[in-house]
Amino acid sequence: MSVPLLEARGVSKRFGGVRALQGVSLEVYENTIVGLIGPNGAGKSTFFNVLTGLYVAEEGTVRFAGRPLSVGQPHQVAAAGLVRTFQNIRLFPQMSVLENIMVGFHVRTRAGLWGAWLRPSAVRQEEHAILTGAQELLDWVGLAGQGGRVASTLSYGDQRRLEIARALATRPRLLALDEPVAGMNGVERQRMAQLLQRIREQGIALLVIEHDVRWIAGLCDRITVLDYGQCLAQGTPAEIQRDPRVIEAYLGTAIEERHG
Ligand code: ADP
Ligand code: MG
């Protein structure tokens, strides 16, 4: 087997008396979609926060693309190609849709203040390339014709798409999405699943948090189930759905109903 793109080993994180993560391990290989499911409070978002350098874990290691990730350095993690979205949408609400995507491209560009002063023509070229790239991404995620709108006026589902477009603009190798279909109806969920599959076809791996077992099972190659900060089960969607521990824990109830 090849080396995983992302490899987390034995990650533990506590908040005072709350053991949010206890020895969680997870791998994501290139060209795969991995699901992370579990009830509210299971530790899913905390795990993302550790992966992306926002929180420092007490124990465990995280390697990305064969190297240890810079702990506590979110910008370096993003620059290495691990880019995430947040459970609560974080756009620049008063900026236009197109400008929000352009911000993602600027993360990648070299022209800083000095470049702008010394080489204005090169900067203009770069700006033009960013504008073109942002417009292409806009169409690609299904927001064609919406570029001039103020971001906050988009529907909830479209704001999620815009967040993903902005993340894609940074050219990630792994896109980590925290509940990308929360609050969406069945049709929107289907459309989002199609978008995520198209992203994978571009050679980008995905790690996706969601409560809905059926939706995630239809999308992912592998699933990890977290419960009270621990790995309850890991496997293919079929294995997860017939895993005795998962069945015992969730029999007769949807996962999200158990803990409310
Ligand atoms: P999930 O995303 O699976 O719903 P979280 O990772 O948000 O779960 O939370 C896991 C546990 O850690 C919960 O008990 C939550 O209250 C706690 N927790 C998460 N973040 C913090 C924080 N910044 N400070 C204190 N407790 C936190
Ligand atoms: Mg969460």
DSSP 3-state of 163: helix
Q: Is the CB of 40 under 6 A from ligand 1?
A: yes
Query: What Å distances lie between residue 35 and 82, 127, 137, CA to CA?
Result: 16, 36, 24
| Residues 181, 76 share a domain | yes
Query: What Å distances lie between residue 211 and 244, 248, 250, 257, CA to CA?
Result: 19, 17, 12, 10
Residue 206 lies in domain? 1-81+172-260
The answer, yes or no, to whether residue 159 has pLDDT greater than 80, is yes
Q: Is the CB of 44 under 6 A from ligand 1?
A: yes
Predicted TM-score (pTM) above 0.85:
yes
Q: Which of 137, 171, 205 is the last residue of a domain?
A: 171
CB atoms within 10 A of CB 245: 12
Q: What pLDDT does residue 109 have?
A: 60
Tell me the pLDDT band of 252, cut-offs 50, 70 and 90. very low
Q: What is the mean pLDDT of residues 203-225?
A: 93
Mutational test site, ligand 1, from 12, 14, 15, max ligand atoms within 8 Å of CB: 15
Q: What pLDDT does residue 119 have?
A: 66
| Residues 66, 142 share a domain | no
| Residues 159, 147 share a domain | yes
Q: Is the CB of 49 under 6 A from ligand 1?
A: no
86: in domain: no
Nearest CA, atom 14, ligand 1: 41
Q: What are phi and psi of 177, to 5 degrees?
A: -115, 120
Instruction: Give pLDDT tens digits for 184-206.
Output: 999 999 999 999 999 999 999 99
| Residues 246, 188 share a domain | yes
**Alpha carbons 5 and 70: distance in angstroms, whole number:** 15
- The protein residues having their C-beta less than 5 angstroms from ligand 2 (an ion) are 44-45, 87
From the CA of 225, the nearest ligand is: 1
Crossing angle of helices 97-106 and 120-140, rounded to 10°: 120
Q: Is the CB of 129 under 6 A from ligand 1?
A: no
Alpha helices in the chain (DSSP H): 44-51, 74-80, 97-106, 113-118, 120-140, 156-169, 186-201, 213-219, 237-242, 244-250, 255-258
The answer, yes or no, to whether residue 152 has pLDDT greater than 80, is yes
178: in domain: yes
